A and B are shown apart, each in its own frame.
Chain A
């Protein structure tokens, strides 16, 4: 009887298992095999012999080589500086924008602003970079012309080590701040309306209400966003930097992902590049684990 029941259960569940099969196969080939392929980091890798081929093992040789390079620490510093600035500043600006949008009483205007500021998120850096390169040009760029009216500049935003990082940070925030407000606006919308009435009765104006009611109402989502962004501390944004930097600004603009690409796929140094990739992946997954763990403990946040 019990056996019969089990058999029925298996028969009923079988289609579900079969549905998972394609996903399992794809993930196995394109995630788990490359994950095992990280052994390249410990080899003097010759592509012709192939992944898992008869390669020469050199232990930590690739890592030693990486740390013997003079610019490795500089690259790490650039990566963290750019990434952390982007995270912190975009958080502040996004939340501020969400609060300001919430204060608009003309809903039509609000809708137009939202539609326009969400848009850059959907446009690739391939398209945005040449536009920004034009607009930021020291000779003919509109931004420098504008600054010229105030007696400033011209600044070579993309070709001067003093400004390159700042330009990356500002343009990245510009691309994403609008889109980022969506989640915050949702949490604002879910704030209990009675709280506003109560605050108004207590004599709080709209600004005080924003400070004492709206912002505390967003506390949960803000904390969660901060936590989850920990995983991005070593991710400075390859697409953006790769398409806007040049050898002149490698000193401040070269980051881990761009270095790995140049070293590995352009320079053919597969071993050292994979070693740098492994180091980055390990730190990043460590941070992501901490982030998820804390998010789960503090906010009962579960991905699955």
Chain B
């Protein structure tokens, strides 16, 4: 027996019918989100003949791990994978430091920070209008950032919306804490990193998740700025092989394994491996981002 047994108010017949419909509907909604993942897993683990005959739906047929064995030997894939790991680690670190450093002074009232209004508008204005793709592209090229990792992390180093979220969060922290710490001789940097950041764990975790997912999923910057194939991040690489069907990816590959594979199996295996980091982080972050979005999102 569940300890929170539902109170037995009389449940009318219409209510029962509604409950059944509701559960059915939501189950279908959940399945629509879950089955595509099952499809990818199934195809990636199926035998060539079954995949080519289009017989695989949501469960592997003719179980085979050859796609993954092949993928392990595929250097271009792992180059791209580790490039993405690098971009995600560097990009998220920069984002978090920048967001905290910017949000903390802006969370002060204007009698504690002279010119706060001007600063706030300086940042807020960028949310209203931007130069757009073409000038940004020309600028990044002219700065000589093309084909370097900085082209992928610097243009978005300070995500303004996340900064707003952080500002709203910092504001809820009682100012007395800061005043006490200051009397004890702590400077703003110390106050930020040892009082404000630890007290804002849900918001920090939410922003970290947003930034991580954003960098991991980023493909467009990689496509327009990275000219050397070995420097492409994973999603850019995936786009070229999975959506554009770029066959040069097979140059120098192990043909004995390749023969046992169908394109679809390999495609699904690569897609799944690219999803794994998100699948791993996601469950742990759920409670944080729900909290973070609610606190930041409803208000700001």
Which residues of A pack against B, CB within 8 Å? 9-10, 13, 15-17, 19-20, 22-24, 26-27, 29-38, 40, 47, 50-51, 97, 100-101, 103-105, 107, 109, 112-113, 115-120, 122-124, 126-135, 139-140, 142, 174, 177-178, 182-183, 186-187, 205-207, 221, 238-239, 243, 257, 260-261, 264-265, 270, 273-274, 277-278, 280-282, 284-285, 288-289, 302-304
Contacts and interface: CB of A to CB of B under 8 A. Distances in A.
Interface in B27-59: 27, 29-30, 32-34, 36-37, 39-40, 54, 57
B282 interface: yes
Contacts of B169: none
Given A23-B102, A100-B25, A178 B33 contact: yes
Given A51-B142, A260-B134, 10 more contacts: A19-B188, A37-B136, A37-B139, A123-B217, A126-B219, A130-B243, A178-B29, A260-B132, A264-B133, A274-B134
Contact of B26 (A100, A183, A205, A239): A100
A34 B203 CA distance: 30
Contacts of B274: 127
Given A16-B105, A142-B57, A265 B188 contact: no
Nearest to A112: B30
> Chain A CB within 10 Å — which of B101, B129, B213, B294 has the most?
B129
Top 5 A-B pairs ranked by shortest CB distance? A34-B131, A37-B135, A277-B132, A124-B217, A23-B102
Given A23-B102, A183-B293, A135 B39 contact: yes
Interface of B: 4, 6, 12, 14-15, 18-19, 22-23, 25-27, 29-30, 32-34, 36-37, 39-40, 54, 57, 98, 101-102, 104-106, 108, 112-115, 119-120, 122-124, 126-139, 141-142, 154-158, 160, 163-164, 167, 187-189, 192, 213, 216-217, 219-220, 224, 235, 238-239, 242-243, 264, 267, 271, 274-275, 278, 282-283, 286, 290, 293-294, 297-298, 300
A40 to B, nearest CB: 6
B21 to A, nearest CB: 9
Contacts of B157: 26, 30
A136 to B, nearest CB: 11
A205 B216 CA distance: 47
A69 B158 CA distance: 38
19 contacts: A13-B112, A16-B113, A20-B101, A27-B122, A32-B126, A33-B135, A35-B131, A113-B26, A122-B213, A126-B217, A126-B235, A183-B297, A187-B298, A239-B219, A243-B239, A273-B134, A277-B132, A277-B134, A282-B129
